[in-house]
Amino acid sequence: MGGTLYVVATPIGNLEDMTLRGIRVLKEVAVVACEDTRQTLKLLNRYGLKKSLLSYFQPKEGRRIPEILALLRSGKDVALVSDAGTPGISDPGYRLICAAVEAGIRVVPIPGASAAAAALSASGLPTHRFLFLGFPPPKTEACRKLLNGLKEESATLIFYIPARKIAGFLAIAQEALGERKAVIAREMTKLHEEFIRGGLGEMVEAGRVNLKGEVTLLIGGRSRKRTEAPRLH
């Protein structure tokens, strides 16, 4: 009988956010496939775990897939983790998960932290419908094309953006979408956690761009105003 690939969510900042089930799975598997062994070691050390680590990162993840599949076929359980959050969600893991599914290997999610869900839950923007878009295209024209295609979208839009690019992105977003409510979530679950709320134009004009690291940006969807039905005569 083959092994199981566990997709284990890890904390996005505060290591206390690791779930009890996640700790147990990391303890029991034979190997942990991780994005960065240094980051994963911090987590393992926090919970007194000693495991065999196998680096699995973009863009060289394809080289590791046959090795990991071989471990799984031999009956060994493998935990897949990224540096933070849920593997495969704008993090390495998608290709491995697809390969395991195609090979008939059991894939089990171990849910936990997600920057998108955490930011949305505390944003104050509508949560009943949202569209996760991950990292936008790096080139300006491709980014503008993406945003222009979202003009009619009523869902709250969620992006992951490097802080150094947030100013440019906000300007393009305002141009493409018009004035919308927006929230920048940074350093979530960490000591300097901050939620910056306001309009797109306000954020651009205020120059709220002196940020570091990676931020989660949420933009309100297009409002749908109710209109009265025409009266029959």
Please name each of the domains of the chain with its CATH number: 4-110 (3.40.1010.10), 115-219 (3.30.950.10)
Question: Do residues 177 and 219 touch, judged by C-beta distance below 8 A?
Answer: yes
Tokens 């956010």 sit at which residue? 17
pLDDT tens, residue by residue, 122-165: 999 999 999 999 999 999 999 999 999 999 999 999 999 998 88
Can you read off the two tokens belonging to residue 210?
Answer: 């002196």
What's the longest Cα–Cα distance across the chain?
Answer: 78
Question: What torsion, rounded to 10 degrees, do the Cα atoms 41, 42, 48, 52 define?
Answer: -10
Mean pLDDT of the chain: 91
pLDDT tens, 80-92? Answer: 999 999 999 988 8
Could you give the strand order of the β-sheet that contains 194-199, starting from the edge strand earlier in sequence? 130-134, 156-162, 214-219, 181-186, 194-199
Q: Which amino acid is residue 227, in one-letter code? A: T
161 by DSSP, 3-state: which?
strand
